[in-house]
């Protein structure tokens, strides 16, 4: 990713900072720092405002900062000064009347310490300024998401090829992560969910000690993190034998709901309306109360980002947003079906960037 790209992101943020009535923002969330500068290290803070841009770090990252974001002046603290002391002494020099902080990532302890040392500079709690920008992906980010999808799908293919009836869910989850890494993924996007039989109906299940031979139906929800830190997120269910008729039936319903919702995606459509399309299909089939979660969410540097596709979302789709579409029906004691794909909102519609088979036949 070029320096120009990060610089243009910072320009957009500065507009938001002006609108937000603050003199600058202290960016502490490391993914936000990375998004705005290209720097991939940790424990560093970015000051950004109409008249300033500076990154505060320590000597471990001095060389890396020069390589990754030569356009951003770096201030390196010495090892005898804590980061908070260093930040305070440098920030005071800017004589800002106030300073925004990222309230959803900064801890109370850091804020209190910083406020104490900054004296007359008022800290203003802000939420979502950078996250709002991150919702719209540029071409380079969409390429990274395609790569994360490809790594997830290749890993999934390896895992399925290696399955044996005596293996546990957890062994398969480990093979899945290892498989994704073979194709360059940094790691799994989250601890994979691999649920045999009725485990698929448990909303917080991950992967346990049940063996594949104990049922004929499996649910797998997984994703990969690409080298630049972008997350894919997919769900598939498949059968390893005769499938209970109830599960066969809800599989058809969920697939119809998902395909209808995907077809409704285009710029200008409300996120709650996309959710509504899928929910209506499931309701009509009589399973309304078995679909208890939202339809989907944005993906990017985080596995869960904006926009949310849910009944209470007030957001509107825009070109460059990338969202999951993942309706589900969960029947306690029997099993669950969820089908999840990743979808880019294009200028005039949508593109599904996931391609692994949706065939039930394993």
Interacting residues with its own copies (CB under 8 A): 41, 60-61, 64, 79, 101, 103-109, 111-112, 125, 127, 170-171, 174, 177-178, 181-182, 187, 191, 203-204, 292
Q: Which is nearer to its own copies, 165 or 332 (CB)?
A: 332
Q: Which is nearer to its own copies, 208 or 362 (CB)?
A: 208
Q: 15: Cβ–Cβ under 8 A, 6 or more apart, which residues?
A: none
Cβ 294 to its own copies shortest distance, Å: 11
Cα(181)–Cα(158) distance, integer angstroms: 11
Q: Which is nearer to its own copies, 77 or 181 (CB)?
A: 181
Q: Angle between the 169-182 and 139-162 helix axes, to the nearest 10 degrees? A: 130
Q: Are 238 and 339 in contact (CB under 8 A)?
A: no
Q: Are 298 and 323 in contact (CB under 8 A)?
A: yes
Q: Which is nearer to its own copies, 139 or 312 (CB)?
A: 312
| E strand or H helix that includes residue 25 | strand 25-27
Q: Name the maximum alpha-carbon separation found in the chain.
A: 71
Q: Which is nearer to its own copies, 109 or 359 (CB)?
A: 109
Q: Which is nearer to its own copies, 185 or 343 (CB)?
A: 185
Tokens of 357: 């088979």
Q: Are 324 and 302 in contact (CB under 8 A)?
A: no
Q: Are 238 and 215 in contact (CB under 8 A)?
A: no
Cβ 145 to its own copies shortest distance, Å: 21
Cβ 203 to its own copies shortest distance, Å: 5
């Amino acid at each position: 990713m070029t320096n120009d790209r990060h610089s243009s992101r910072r320009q957009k943020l500065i507009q938001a900072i002006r609108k937000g009535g603050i003199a600058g923002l202290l960016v502490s969330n490391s993914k936000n720092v990375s998004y705005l500068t290209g720097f991939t290290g940790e424990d560093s803070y970015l000051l950004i405002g109409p008249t300033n841009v500076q990154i505060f770090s320590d000597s471990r990252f001095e060389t890396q900062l020069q390589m990754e974001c030569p356009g951003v002046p770096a201030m390196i603290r010495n090892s005898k000064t804590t980061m908070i002391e260093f930040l305070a002494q440098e920030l005071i020099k800017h004589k800002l009347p106030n300073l925004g902080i990222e309230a959803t990532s900064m801890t109370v302890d850091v804020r209190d310490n910083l406020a104490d040392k900054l004296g007359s500079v008022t800290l203003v709690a802000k939420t979502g300024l950078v996250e709002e920008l991150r919702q719209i992906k540029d071409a380079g980010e969409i390429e990274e998401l395609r790569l994360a999808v490809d790594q997830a799908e290749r890993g999934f293919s390896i895992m399925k090829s290696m399955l044996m009836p005596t293996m546990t869910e957890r062994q398969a989850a480990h093979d899945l992560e290892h498989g994704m890494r073979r194709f360059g993924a940094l790691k799994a996007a989250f601890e994979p969910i691999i649920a045999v039989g009725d485990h698929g109906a448990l909303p917080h299940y991950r992967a346990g000690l049940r063996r594949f031979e104990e049922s004929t139906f499996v649910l797998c929800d997984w994703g990969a993190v690409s080298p630049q830190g972008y997350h894919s997120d997919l769900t598939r269910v498949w059968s390893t034998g005769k499938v209970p008729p109830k599960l066969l039936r809800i599989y058809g319903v969920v697939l119809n709901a998902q395909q209808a919702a995907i077809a409704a995606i285009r710029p200008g459509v409300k996120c709650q309306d996309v959710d509504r399309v899928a929910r209506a299909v499931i309701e009509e089939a009589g399973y309304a109360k078995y679909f208890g979660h939202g339809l989907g969410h944005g993906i990017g540097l985080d596995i869960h980002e904006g926009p949310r596709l849910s009944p209470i979302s007030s957001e509107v789709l825009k070109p460059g947003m990338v969202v999951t579409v993942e309706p589900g029906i969960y029947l306690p004691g029997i099993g669950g079906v969820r089908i999840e794909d990743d979808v880019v909102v294009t200028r005039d519609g949508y593109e599904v960037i996931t391609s692994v088979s949706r065939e039930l036949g394993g």
